[in-house]
Structure 1
């Protein structure tokens, strides 16, 4: 479970890249790109359309499969760097290892996937600004997994407030806790173990997450709760207007369910995020003006899938069925705002 200042020059932001882009990796005609944003507690490398990490998983355990698919479809794809803690991305061992990556970007362009949502958004915005100023990307489709959807929204708000030149064309979220995660709700004492209805995996996940939140004291683990995100004074309400003009596709997983009366803040879920949260069922149209939704019987990640002895293709960012949904979201983005709202929601 462990797991924004465009419009200003990079020099003004204090950004220094330690390695120049590989020759031929950023032709002047690359005006549009897909950027994959990973989620909470993730460590993911920066990759370009031409180069991933040479050893292990080319883009880490969240992004590798979906990046490969999108590259194969002819998209210009970048993965945004993330570290489970402060600092630059380093080579990883253990679950989902990677190494020998093409470029290591500075900490201020690297999401701290355990820190606060808004700080993560500031770092992500600097990264998107880097794509604009250094790689000629001025139109972006964001594909975000888990809390990457919240980080993306925070980044969009900063880009808008600083008059950034790039356009965010669409946002697709995969298992994003729009309304929070029941694990964080348990850590915040707003949901009890009884909501698991005796499911051992659910109970163990809740207890493990609480331990991690207590250990870290602050950051994403506490903020990914209904109490922080929802309500008239919540983080979502403060985001009203940010997604105006940006079509959003939400994909949720319901691999895990219980029969009979259940708490919809918990069941069904993907192991970390309830389907109701992933599909933003209670998020107001002022916050999320245009949405389309889809549900697949997937686990949150290949990590969760591995814990339940499920195949990698049953995880949201590794499932070909999800790839098809992302393909559709990208293909229909230019006309999406003219289509019916809340389809599948």
Structure 2
């Protein structure tokens, strides 16, 4: 499909630079099939679901994956995006033309790494020096990797250390937050429990590739970035049992959705999973694992807008986004939410 089919005009002032306070006070657009669009708030979620419905969350934790350093006199920026092993990470490099294989990059607070290998996409494998765990080094020298559409408008600060982390964050490894779950609070979780809504978690370490613009004119020519994920066997069994009982599985975020669909066969059975996924979902895809999606509002021409268009239909999503823009919804990572029930 042509990438320009997924374009739309978004006024810059619709991009949220801070999350709603409290988090569950964010607005939420409700779209059920072809029914009229409803304007709600996230706190309404328990009343919009049915007892027995299962919400699936991503428990990945964002690490301070952005580093600033030097190689000689050249200033170098690095954004880690995928772990290779205990001491090596793939990284996108700013000013990469000043870096050669074998060069040492000096980051702040005595953190150094060797640019071990340049990959075909232009990124590097960085091998960190020393014996301390890389996570410790990042806590010392790194900062939270805010999306470029926020970082380009204001500097990262201490508030982002909490704001850009979900209440479910447990497994270190993401360099972007699973932002649909940023809206959840202890009070909202209590209300969901009282309404009989079930919660399950999986892990998908979101990579910085999620923010890369598409550089092709046709979706068939796009190479999707790979991300590592895991679904435990008991989690898969409970999800299968819920669906067999006629209950809905609703993914909280596109990251959870992509991993669930990667783990599900043509028979509709969700299997345990541990490994990389580079699934790319566009209109025409048949969903096998999920019955709905809670998600924020996505970039024009992005793989994530293509995903929601596959779920609801492209014309329907253009209608939904036109409504959201006209009604002053806040977009992107710190923005408002939508509940999409095809």
What band does the TM-score fall into relative to the shorter chain? under 0.3
More strand by share: 2
| TM-score with structure 2 setting the length | 0.24
The structure with more helix, counted as a fraction of residues: 1
